[in-house]
Structure 1
Amino acid sequence: MAKRKLTQNQQRRIQSNNTKVLQRYHRKQKADIDWSDEMLDDAQEGVIVTRYSVHADVENASGEIFRCNLRRTLSSVVVGDRVIWHKGNEQLQGISGVIEAVLPRKNEISRPDYYDGLKVIAANIDRIIIVSAVLPALSLNIIDRYLVICETANIPAVIVLNKTDLLTPEEYENAAHQLQIYQAIGYQTMMISAKSGENMENFTALLSEGTSILVGQSGVGKSSLINHILPDVQAQIGEVSELSGLGQHTTTSSRLYHLKQGGDLIDSPGIREFGLWHLDQDKITKGYREFQYFLGTCKFRDCKHENDPGCALRAAVEQGKIHPLRFENYHRLIAGLQENKSQRHFSTS
């Protein structure tokens, strides 16, 4: 009898259940570590440089890194967090201390998780670098999804097109023309190649101040960029699947790297789908920065910004003040939002 092929949702449930079982197992093992006060040094500040499922690596003021347990009272600890922690007098099962508290965050970036709800993936970020490429295909719709997140979190965004060495002169010109859409509304863009070195000096200079985080689909070359900037890191590079055209996830935990020229870089696990179902329509609308000037000036307060009479956004598109591709992507995001919410309602009813 032939085996029935599992659906994508069934595969996700199985993977989620397996992950939860492993996490419970590891938590049970770590529960045997009981840090009494006399076993701990005085409290000190540190920065989370790597986050795993049940513990985290903390860097102290001297640049030393210690693997620590988390107090059960902590709801969220992510890479970039400034924390209060205690070093133990000795290592217990490879653990060097315990994290007591998370200091207030300047900002944070989150992504929705189908099983765990909204999940914070990094904190205290100075810029989000949206990495795209021609393989997988350049998608302005995906770029717009990331930009909505950046605008909602109030974190500056830079759009980077990687793998330009794969482009013909005509394709290069077309890609540059597409990026001009974002330059016109105030976003910084850059066309680079980790392989040929095009614009890598400028890209490295961009990273030299503050903390940056790389986001983007799997396969766009985030690990290759890190290997170019930090050759000693030897980040694992995944090949793009010839069958699907989608990249394989190669980064399993978020990491913060210190750069020689200054600045820090956070590499987060590859995100193939960056859903927006945790945002309502109003937040997505406000996530399009060029819409701001026209919002509130439509004829009707409940304007859907489609074919509604007196729609200020549609009039702005017709007047060339809003790019039609951005307006089209906006409606795709809204339609996808409604579809996802309907599916989630159906699955829980």
Structure 2
Amino acid sequence: MSKRKLSRQQRWRIEKIQAERARRAEKRGAKESEQLAAGEYGPEQPGRVIAHFGRTLDVLPEGGEAPVRCHLRANLEGLVTGDRVIWRAGQDGSGVVVARGERDNVLERPDPRGQLKPVAANIDQILIVFAVEPEPHANLIDRYLVAAEATGIPPVLVLNKIDLLPDSGGALRELLDRYESLGYPVVTTTTARDGGLDALHRRLAGRTSVFVGQSGVGKSSLIDRLLPDEELRIGALSEDSRKGRHTTTTARLYHMPSGGELIDSPGIREFGLTHLDEDQVARGFIEFRELLGRCRFRDCRHRQEPGCALIHAVEAGEVHADRFASYRRIVDSLEDS
């Protein structure tokens, strides 16, 4: 999509607004520098952002137990939960963040205007939570996997409420076996019986994780059980629609008593894919990657073109037909949007 051309007057207004913002930031920065130089703040020390509230943050000092409400220096923008920062403690019990450390990665999702917005940083794994109820569909799981693959953060599939599964496991168990055969870790959980979270505890230990998944799959319920000392609100599952309601209000990092950290990020009903192109979607299907670039035509779109390596792999049984159909539905939905 081509960018909209701006008139001279529109460009002038934008430049004027930006200049005014820069002057205000410069004034704030000068005032903060005076305060820092005057000794109103202590020495620099490392910390981790555990919650974000606009221009203020909750920062957990390295080795500390209680977070400190900190302000941002005027020249710092875009900090998110999970960021490693340098901060200084104030005499009044608050603090100021003066620098951000290097990021290992950042999790982003599109906002309502389609612009990518950072949600969390320095994550070791994305836990894609789904449940026996509401019934998961392979295409929805594939969408989450494609979005996770685009971030470069390893995904893990978490099937919750397995107490509702039939003894045989049914079609859902077969679906999980398919993903495991592709190399994706799969963890099953339930809060209905003792030991139902043991596998999840092992997966979380020593890692920083973020939960994503559609509403009603039990993300908040899982976190409530994993973090018994935290006061988390749990949304009830609607008996009529079999869909839940979101209950968290801000992305927050929680320390696990048994080790590891969880970032509960609100508002992610479906991981948006509108920011991805066809090639990125194709690469999000990990079994496609070795086949991409092997088609007869360089501009092959993997539809009906002769010599398509993906179609040949499906026909040969090397790529599951359902996964290829899921890929086509995702690409078609991006074109429709």
Q: TM-score category by the smaller chain?
A: 0.7 to 0.9
- One-letter amino acid of the counterpart of residue 49, structure 1: I
Q: 1:197 to 1:303 in 2, by over 3 A?
A: farther
Aligned-residue Cα RMSD (Å) equals 1.8
1:5-50 deviation digits (Å, cap 9, x = unpaired): xxxxxxxxxxxxxxxxxxxxxxxxxx9xx64222222222110111
Say whether residues 1:40 and 2:38 are aligned partners.
no
Q: Alpha-carbon deviation of 1:243?
A: 4.0
Residue aligning to 1:234: 231
The question of 1:62 aligning with 2:63 is answered yes
- Who is 1:83 aligned against? 85
Distance of 1:217 and 1:277 partners within structure 2: 17
Q: 62-71 or 236-245, which moves further after superposition?
A: 236-245
Counterpart of 1:290 in structure 2 is 287
**Paired position in structure 1 for 2:53:** 52
Does the residue aligned with 1:42 lie in a helix, a strand or coil? strand
What do the CA deviations read for 1:299-336 (whole angstroms, capped 9, x no partner)?
11111111111111011111111111211111111112
Match 1:190 to one of 187, 192, 199: 187
> Among 241, 245, 249, which residue is 2:242 paired with?
245
Determine if contact 1:250/1:270 at 8 Å carries over to the other structure.
Answer: no
Corresponding pairs, count: 303
Displacement of 1:141 in angstroms is 1.6
Structure 2 segments unaligned to the other structure (5+ residues): 1-27
Task: Please state how far the C-alpha of 1:278 moved relative to its aligned partner.
Answer: 1.0
Confirm or deny: 8 A CA contact 1:47 1:81 kept in the other structure: yes
Q: Percent identity?
A: 46
The correspondence for 2:316, drawn from 290, 314, 319, is 319
- Judge conservation of contact 1:217–1:270 (CA < 8 Å) in 2: no
SS state at 2:287 partner: helix
Deviation of 1:78 after TM superposition, in Å, equals 1.0
CA distance in 1, matches of 2:147, 2:100: 23
Question: 2:19 maps to what in 1?
Answer: none
Corresponding position of 1:24:
none
Distance 1:158-1:109 versus aligned 2 partners, 3 A rule: same
**TM-superposed deviation, 1:286:** 0.9
Query: CA shift at 1:297, angstroms?
Result: 0.7
2-side partners of 1:292 and 1:212: how far apart?
Answer: 26
Find the residue that maps to 2:92 and give its secondary structure.
strand
For residues 280 and 75 of structure 1, do their structure 2 counterparts lie closer, same or farther at Cα, with a shift above 3 Å needed? farther
* Secondary structure of 1:143 counterpart: helix
| 2:223 counterpart of 1:221 | no
Q: What is the match of residue 124 of structure 1?
A: 122
List runs of 5+ in structure 1 lacking aligned partners. 1-30, 341-349
What letter corresponds to residue 164 of structure 1 in structure 2? I
TM-score for both structures, normalised by structure 1? 0.82
| SS of the residue 2:91 aligns to | strand
CA distance in 1, matches of 2:178, 2:262: 27
- Is 1:301 the counterpart of 2:301? The answer is no
| Shift of residue 199, structure 1, vs aligned partner | 4.2
SS of the residue corresponding to residue 279 of structure 1 reads coil
Deviates more, 1:196-205 or 1:219-228: 196-205
